[in-house]
Amino acid sequence: MASAAEQLASNLNFAAFAKAEDLKKRIWFTLGALLVYRLGTYIPLPGINPDAFAQAFNSQSGGVLGMFNMFAGGAVSRMAIFALGIMPYISASIIMQLMTSVIPSLEALKKEGEQGRKVINQYTRYGTVLLALVQAYGISVGLEGGNGIVADPGLFFRASTVITLVGGTMFLMWLGEQITARGIGNGISLIIFAGIVAGLPHAISGTLELGRTGALSTALILAIIILAIVVIALIVFFERAQRRLLIQYPKRQVGNRMFQGDTSHLPLKLNTAGVIPPIFASSLLLLPATVAGFSATTNMPAWASTILSALGHGQPLYMAFYAAMIVFFAFFYTAIVFNPKDTADQLKKHSGFIPGYRPGERTAEYIDYVLTRITVIGAIYLVLVCLLPEFLISATGVPFYLGGTSLLIVVSVTLDTVAQIQGHLIAHQYEGLIKKSKLRGGKRTK
């Protein structure tokens, strides 16, 4: 079966794609949905002075606002109706995953199957609304505090801003679910992907303009291009890397016949945590500087100013904390999303075992042993990918747009989407082969 699948995968071509009508419909639906999202990032909130807000945003774009603006596809810099983006939903999903591992009732609900997942998804939606309400109200208050940003501040402006921003987030959440169900790929990931990629042409043109004016040398621009290619290759290699544990099943006797035991593999990803560690680490580190930038710093104690300057973007202490937080969240999130004990129990339930280890507790200990060691390699990989652009920005002052987190998201989503497209094409070719075999069998019968 595996060799047949590999042969079909190698034979994938444009002719097979042209015949896959369902796949083409899914791709067109996905592109249309992403186009709607991009149009929404250009519709501004009512009652905002764009010029005054642009000045206020540019003064704080180096903090956490800059990162949120990148994930929102530039909607924050324009204060559009999608300014909150999909981040409240992602935060609510992460919080719900944390709660399912802590609260026994939610953990039991998660194990109930499809019905339990539906209930947890509903709780996640409620959490998204709650987080979006808090963030939207904070944005409305912050906008009123700016100089000349709001034309007519007051209760009506706050209410309209909260309703618009929360409605935008809920629409994006619904749009992401529709892409997942009726399109191709993971809808939420594709929305973030589209937001990041949308700013890439502007970043490339800006870099080339710096080279034309002489602010950047040609050698430095070439070095940036080579570094980007190397980082992309590194991400592709490590995101596809797996540690496969051999699983064996005992022999079975059916009637008077003895069937040989099957073998399979338990794949453990090198980077189980995905892009969560860099997102969490950068958010926590940029938050103090952003809060200090919005607050009055004239009466700030000397020790607080020293700490804030040491934690500034590109500083050695910032780099050290950034690396430490990435490693911490890599282990923390891996422990949440992968439970060796549950995996060992499932193997024991289906009579599977790892050679040399007793089913149950010993198998769980071995899986945890292997997972811990490959997570060390995955955490080091995340630190290298995320800190290389930071060192480049710090050493040369180059506005390297595709930083570690954004590049990781772009490459990971691309790999996942291409894999799903390949899966649809393989399934389509299998269906074609089955239909042909049925037709041949019918003719022979006649």
Q: Within a 10 A sphere around the Cβ of 83, how many other Cβ atoms?
A: 25
Element (H or E) spanning 82, and its range? none
- What pLDDT score was predicted for residue 8? 42
**Domain extents in the chain:** 22-199
Full pLDDT tens readout for the chain, 446 residues? 444 444 444 444 556 666 677 888 888 999 999 999 999 888 888 888 877 787 777 766 555 566 667 767 777 788 888 888 888 888 888 788 778 877 888 778 877 777 877 888 888 899 999 988 988 888 888 787 767 778 788 888 889 999 999 999 999 999 999 998 898 888 888 898 888 888 777 777 777 787 788 777 788 778 878 888 888 888 889 888 888 888 888 776 666 666 566 788 888 888 888 888 887 787 677 666 555 554 444 455 666 667 666 666 667 788 888 889 899 989 988 888 888 888 888 888 888 888 888 888 898 899 999 999 999 999 999 998 888 777 776 666 665 555 667 788 888 888 888 888 887 777 766 666 666 666 565 555 44
- What pLDDT score was predicted for residue 371? 92
Q: Which residues pair with 244 in a beta bridge?
A: 267
Per CATH, domain 22-199 is 1.10.3370.10 = yes
CA distances from 370 to 364, 376, 395 (A): 10, 10, 37
Q: Find the radius of gyration of the CA atoms of the chain.
A: 26
Q: CA 379, 330, 313: angle at the middle one, nearest 5?
A: 75
Of the candidates 336, 330, 346, 333, the residue with the CA atom closest to the CA atom of residue 101: 336
- DSSP type of residue 314: T
- What pLDDT score was predicted for residue 287? 61
At residue 42, what are phi and psi to the nearest 5 degrees? -110, 0
- What pLDDT score was predicted for residue 31? 92
